[in-house]
A and B are shown apart, each in its own frame.
Chain A
Amino acid sequence: MSKEQILSSDGIPLEQSLKKAERKNKLKAVLLVAPLFLFILIIYVFPIGDMLFRSVDDRMITKMLPKTFNAMEKWDGQDLPDEPVYKGLYEDLTYLKQNKTYGKIIARLNYEKSGFSSLIKKTVRKINKFEEGNYKEQFIKVHKRWGQPEYLVALKNAAPEWSYAKYLKGVDMTFDQDRNIVSVEEDRRIYKILWMRTLNVAFWVTIFCFILAYPISHLLATLPMKYSNLLMICVLLPFWTSLLVRTSSWMVLLQQQGPINDLIVWIGLAADDNRPELMYNVIGTFVAMTQILLPFMVLPLYSVMKTISPSLMRAGKSLGGTPLVSFVKIYFPLTIPGIGAGCLLVFILAIGYYITPALVGGASGSLISNTIAYHMKSSLDWAFASALGTMLLVGVLAIYWIYNKLVGIDNIKLG
């Protein structure tokens, strides 16, 4: 095929003048997108990056004990280290004492091995009386733990600048003193339980939402306009109400002297002095979360069902399919994009749900997000909170990926 250049009326090649004309439009498009792009960058991409960074960042202790770790590089970690390590430790601790910042390393080292707290405190108290030279003996004199290799190994283990220890902690694992990955003692395994509970709650809330939403959505999609509008408002009204108000109304309903318990007693399912606990446990979490997340299932289902022509079911029946067969073979497969969207939405929202489990969940009904909040606000272990948050994020992305492999993300329909 011969390639002949087409010229526009003023002699410039057409391709070139077309590009010139389009450049302006492209610039306009970029300018229009820029605010949102910056917004997302600043409030979404950057914080998530920071979270990922924090979860592995372990430089604080390295910065605070530079001389110790420097000297430790030559130590093989077998027997007690030699004098230079103790000398470095002395210099570092003296510096920290002068600046009154040694509190930070106590928490960090105590996490590495319990017993460091009293060890450091006692040492710092007496460090002014140290004489120059032969620091090793003086340290051991202050506290005998300085003469036990496992404490110094633990100190050495805290040296690397980057650490994935927080992630291990998130799945109830830890390093033993030889840097092997092992499970923590059985009575301290809490995060696996928490993860399983979170997945479990998210899974069942999704199932309950689906069971409740499917018939409602079908009704919404098939009722005449004036009734379906009313029903739609009934579905959306809770959606527009504040989350906190809805959760607290569940607290009113579910409490032991509340109307639901009254009803149970009145029917005779339970004795008055033995009212079932419906709140501050996993039941409360299930009930409240299902109700709160229901609209997220109804809306995608409704929007998909709305597009299914009623004549398809009629066609199925007229061709000889019983109502059940027609439903299973025709109606149900056509609603799968809506089911996928709804379930994905509800599951992802449920897995990171915070306020409802925090208010009605109690101890046995609290989820991973509550633990993240706890570490952000109370224990101030931000690195661990970040690690848990990252694991949650990765989990959600994994679900999304699996969904894409199984159903195909282009099969999703939100409206």
Chain B
Amino acid sequence: MANDHFVRFENVDKSYDGKLLVVKGLNLDIEEGEFVTMLGPSGSGKTTCLMMLAGFETPTNGQIYLDNNVISDIPPHKRGIGMVFQNYALFPHMTVYENLAFPLRVRKIPKDEADKKVDKALSMVSLQGFEARMPMQLSGGQQQRVAVARSLVFDPKLVLMDEPLGALDKNLRESMQYEIKHIHESIGVTVVYVTHDQTEALTMSNRIAVFNDGKVQQLSSPDELYERPVNSFVAEFIGENNTFGGEVIDVAGDKCKVKLNSGAEIFANPIVAKAKGEKTTVSLRPERALIDPQTTMDNNHKGKIEEVIYHGDHTRLRVDLLGNKQFILKVPNSSSGMDIKAGKEINIGWNSVDCRALDLKLSI
């Protein structure tokens, strides 16, 4: 039976210098067998959380539970958590085999059994035959896979990965993302993954915890996170985003009317800003706004094309719309015949459901 709070952070605070809280009152539950990504800009506290879970940092306040046991007092080597480090941390003086056998040897597992486990772990990352190589003789991607295999070889229930793909080039990174995802699916281990790359997080995770300023801003599945961000930080951080600053002037059911700073009025979905008179930042994904919509949409405004940028599979338009000169529209390149040129006036429409009235972002 899957334990739905296999890993549990309970009101965890962390401060390094006693003045500044790097992690503030963190609560987080991770289900057994889940792939959870901690995503956030650098300095948001995500790596600190991972280090606390691994045992290299101690929480200033609060408790961390692993499988219902408090682990704050257990030293890292007794936690039995596998870990993949940012720079792989392969032991440079040991062969691939010795690297993988290290966790088995310290656990006093007999040699023939250890050999089998090493072999299995290497086949998982398709690196059989590389046992006698030194880490320096491997490419970055191969080293990465050895690191993954090593973190799994002693059958831990939980594996932590700290930006493991950061040092790889783009193509390799993408193929490794799938590989790690498949390994996770095939052996059902719980993975906590830290990254600042949102595409990586969206591709791999069951759930994503978006960190900012020492707090989890939103914890939900990738699609939920993208489609229904709960605040303007998440909306801004995940994917592309068009924003309008304004004030709620009327609320009626699941719709509200927002008076923008430019004076225009639009309909939006009240998510955070729910009361009349509240200041808000309205967020709209570029692909949710259409040019000359066929169906009726409750927002319909005129804008002027400022710039056309060709992107291969799609074309991007920068439009001056309702006072926002940075409004981005994505047009698939298949929709030929559309007359898009800089300087042209176009009709832009979108549904109020997709247009979310969130908290006020201070920078606007």
Chain A interface residues (CB < 8 Å from chain B): 309, 311-312, 314-323, 325-326, 329-330, 333-334
Contact = CB atoms under 8 A, between A and B. Distances in A.
A312 B102 contact: no
Given A320-B77, A320-B154, A330-B91, A314 B85 contact: yes
B170 interface: no
B103 A317 contact: no
Given A311-B85, A311-B86, A325-B106, A317 B91 contact: no
Contacts of A329: 102
The SS class assigned to the A binding surface is helix
Nearest to B81: A318
Nearest to A336: B93
B64 to A, nearest CB: 15
Interface in B1-36: none
30 contacts: A309-B87, A309-B89, A311-B86, A311-B87, A314-B56, A314-B83, A315-B89, A316-B91, A317-B56, A317-B76, A317-B77, A318-B54, A318-B77, A318-B82, A319-B83, A319-B106, A319-B151, A319-B154, A320-B103, A320-B106, A320-B107, A321-B77, A321-B102, A321-B103, A321-B106, A322-B77, A325-B106, A330-B91, A334-B92, A334-B93
Interface string B77-107: 1111111011101111100000000110011
Contacts of B106: 319-322, 325
A314 B77 CA distance: 9
Contacts of A314: 54, 56, 76, 83, 85, 89
B93 A333 contact: yes
Contact of A319 (B55, B87, B93, B150): B150
B85 to A, nearest CB: 5
A330 B91 CA distance: 7
Interface string B309-344: 000000000000000000000000000000000000
Nearest to B78: A320
Nearest to A329: B102
B129 interface: no
Given A317-B76, A319-B106, A320-B77, 17 more contacts: A311-B89, A312-B91, A314-B76, A314-B85, A316-B102, A318-B77, A319-B102, A319-B151, A319-B154, A320-B78, A320-B103, A320-B107, A320-B154, A321-B103, A325-B106, A329-B102, A334-B93
Given A325-B106, A329-B102, A318 B87 contact: no
Most buried by B among A309, A312, A320, A330: A320
A312 B78 CA distance: 17
Contacts of B75: 317, 323
Contacts of B154: 319-320
A249 to B, nearest CB: 40
Nearest to A321: B106
A315 B88 CA distance: 9
A50 B342 CA distance: 88
A315 B86 CA distance: 11
Interface of B: 54-56, 75-83, 85-87, 89-93, 102-103, 106-107, 150-151, 154, 160
Contacts of A333: 93
Contacts of B89: 309, 311-312, 314-315
B161 to A, nearest CB: 12
B113 to A, nearest CB: 15
Contacts of B82: 318-319
Nearest to B103: A319
A333 B92 CA distance: 10
B85 A315 contact: yes
A330 B82 CA distance: 17
B264 to A, nearest CB: 53
Contacts of A323: 75, 77
A326 B103 CA distance: 10
A319 B80 CA distance: 7
Nearest to B153: A319
Contacts of A312: 89, 91
Contacts of B91: 312, 315-316, 330
Contacts of A311: 85-87, 89
B93 A315 contact: no
A318 B102 contact: no
Contacts of A325: 106
Contacts of B87: 309, 311
Contacts of A326: 77
Contacts of B79: 318
A146 B45 CA distance: 99
Contacts of A330: 91
B156 to A, nearest CB: 9
A320 B102 CA distance: 9
Nearest to B86: A311
A107 B83 CA distance: 77
B124 to A, nearest CB: 17
A334 B94 CA distance: 10
Contacts of B93: 333-334
Nearest to A323: B77
B60 to A, nearest CB: 19
A329 B107 CA distance: 14
A259 B89 CA distance: 49
Contacts of B86: 311
Nearest to B91: A330
Contacts of A316: 91, 102
Contacts of A334: 92-93
Contacts of B78: 320
Contacts of A317: 55-56, 75-77
A149 B90 CA distance: 78
Contacts of A321: 77, 102-103, 106
B137 to A, nearest CB: 17
B361 to A, nearest CB: 35
A321 B55 CA distance: 13
A188 B93 CA distance: 52
Residue with the highest number of chain A CB atoms closer than 10 Å, among B78, B85, B89, B154: B89
Nearest to B79: A318
A270 B160 CA distance: 59
Contacts of B85: 311, 314-315
A325 B78 CA distance: 13
B83 A318 contact: yes
A334 B102 CA distance: 15
A318 B160 CA distance: 10
A214 B336 CA distance: 71
A312 B93 CA distance: 11
A191 to B, nearest CB: 43
B76 A318 contact: yes
A315 B83 contact: yes
Nearest to A324: B77
A320 B80 contact: yes
